[in-house]
């Protein structure tokens, strides 16, 4: 296949007008390497890598924590239709046995055609600080447990690529030291001060879960996790850019604090792609009104949008389009160690390609 005359997004975050060649589902260097010479005219269109959402709980009425493969298929079809071609289904903090069962059921899951590829599993709970639990169930929070993590990971075929940890709870540092070579450890849902967060980052944590949310604010005398992570050049930071979770001025600030390290996420729950109403999130009732999803006490509870819309929202907030695209493609791929396979349109990588107009309106998923 040849995608002709498009403005192709490059690894250096520029656009080059060129043709893109695809053979057997992979990007190749030249026309001489293809046998299928069918063409797609991309004149006046942007040719982008498929987006990668590393933190999303669900959509279209389904949640990964339901443990229902058919539900996950519907989530993945929704994501694919919205330009997200790689996806990390994300678990909530549920009972220990339920988590084990969830990972066992999903270990052999294989997506079908017209669905986002499962790039790995994101284990957001249960190793959290109860004081910063957000929409996670307090009664299901547990202390960091290396053996339990390994049991869950083994149950799902070692597909867990990211795990959230509160560094201020007992046993957290031992968890980081023991597991940082096995999984990316993300710091979040925490009341950690600067020194505690810094120690965890030095021990091997390399990621922040939804920056600004469920953590201490950045203060000039108490910089907390945000200040500690900003100083670590290898630390990536997730950002929910739905216009609800983080004010637009702080979105702009985040891209300056973490240059080249922001990972846009949706953190969506089952209401994404659905009408307003009442839904379940990890066993708790959530009310959705527009983009706002809240618990009964008013706590913001995940988002009701998708990553593609978050990317467009970032651009509307003043983030350069090239940086917003990188934050939804290159950066998430790097953050979970899959940049050798996806995240850019380089030869040898999987041909996850989307076409958009100059306003970033999605035109086609290839």
Residue 128 in tokens: 């959290």
Residue 327 in tokens: 């934050």
Catalytic (active-site) positions: 267
Q: Compute CA distances 219 → 37, 193, 222, whole Å.
A: 57, 10, 5
φ, ψ of residue 147 in degrees (nearest 5) = -65, -40
Q: Say if residue 214 carries a ligand binding annotation.
A: yes
Measured distance CA(118)–CA(8) in Å, rounded: 25
Q: Say if residue 170 carries a ligand binding annotation.
A: no
Q: Where are the beta strands (DSSP E) in 232-342?
A: 236-240, 262-265, 277-281, 284-289, 292-294
Q: Say if residue 31 carries a ligand binding annotation.
A: no
Q: Say if residue 333 carries a ligand binding annotation.
A: no
Q: Say if residue 301 carries a ligand binding annotation.
A: yes
Measured distance CA(168)–CA(40) in Å, rounded: 53
Three-state DSSP class for residue 119: coil
Place of tokens 């599993």: 121
Q: Say if residue 302 carries a ligand binding annotation.
A: yes
Identify the DSSP state of 136.
S
Q: ∠ at Cα 339 (337, 341), nearest 5°?
A: 110
Contact residues for 265 (Cβ-Cβ < 8 A; gap 6+): 53, 54, 55, 56, 210, 238, 239, 240, 307, 310, 332
Q: Say if residue 62 carries a ligand binding annotation.
A: no
Q: Say if residue 300 carries a ligand binding annotation.
A: yes
Measured distance CA(73)–CA(106) in Å, rounded: 11
Burial of 297 (0-12, 13-18, 19+ CB in 10 A): exposed
Tell me how long the chain is. 366
Q: Say if residue 189 carries a ligand binding annotation.
A: yes
Strands 2-9 and 15-23: antiparallel
**How far from chain centre, in Å, is Cα 304?**
14
Measured distance CA(16)–CA(8) in Å, rounded: 5
Across the chain, how many H-helices and E-strands are there?
A: 10, 21
Per the annotation, binding residues for Zn(2+) are 124, 189, 210
Binding-site annotation: residue ranges: 124, 135, 189, 210, 213-214, 221, 245, 300-302
Binding site for substrate: what residues are annotated? 135, 213-214, 221, 245, 300-302
């Amino acid at each position: 296949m040849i995608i002709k005359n498009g403005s192709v997004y490059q690894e250096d975050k520029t656009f080059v007008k060129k043709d893109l060649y695809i053979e057997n589902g992979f990007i190749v260097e030249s026309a001489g390497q293809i046998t299928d010479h069918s063409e797609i005219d991309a004149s006046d269109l942007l040719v982008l890598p498929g987006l990668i959402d590393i933190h999303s709980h669900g959509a279209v009425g389904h949640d990964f924590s339901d443990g229902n493969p058919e539900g996950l298929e519907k989530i993945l079809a929704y994501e694919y239709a919205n330009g997200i071609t790689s996806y990390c289904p994300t678990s909530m903090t549920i009972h220990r046995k339920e988590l084990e069962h969830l990972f066992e059921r999903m270990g052999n899951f294989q997506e079908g055609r017209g669905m986002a590829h499962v790039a790995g599993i994101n284990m957001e709970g249960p190793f959290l600080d109860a004081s910063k639990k957000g929409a996670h169930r307090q009664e299901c929070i547990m202390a960091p447990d290396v053996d339990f993590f390994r049991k869950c990971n083994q149950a799902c075929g070692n597909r867990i690529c990211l795990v959230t940890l509160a560094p201020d709870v007992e046993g957290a540092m031992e968890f980081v030291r023991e597991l940082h070579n096995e999984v990316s450890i993300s710091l979040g849902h925490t009341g950690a001060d600067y020194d505690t967060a810094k120690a965890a980052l030095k021990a091997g944590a390399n990621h922040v879960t939804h920056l600004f949310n469920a953590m201490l604010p950045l203060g000039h005398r108490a910089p907390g996790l945000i200040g500690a992570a900003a100083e670590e050049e290898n630390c990536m930071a997730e950002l929910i850019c739905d216009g609800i979770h983080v004010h637009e001025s702080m979105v702009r600030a985040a891209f300056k604090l973490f240059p080249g390290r922001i990972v846009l996420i949706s953190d969506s729950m089952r209401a994404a792609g659905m009408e307003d109403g009442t839904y379940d999130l990890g066993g708790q009732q959530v009310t959705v009104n527009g983009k706002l999803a809240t618990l009964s006490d008013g706590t913001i509870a995940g988002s009701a949008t998708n990553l593609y819309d978050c990317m467009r929202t970032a651009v509307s907030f003043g983030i350069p389009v090239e940086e917003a695209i990188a934050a939804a493609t290159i950066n998430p791929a790097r953050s979970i160690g899959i940049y050798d396979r996806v995240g850019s349109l380089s030869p040898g990588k999987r041909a996850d390609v989307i076409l958009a107009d100059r306003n970033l309106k999605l035109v086609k998923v290839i």
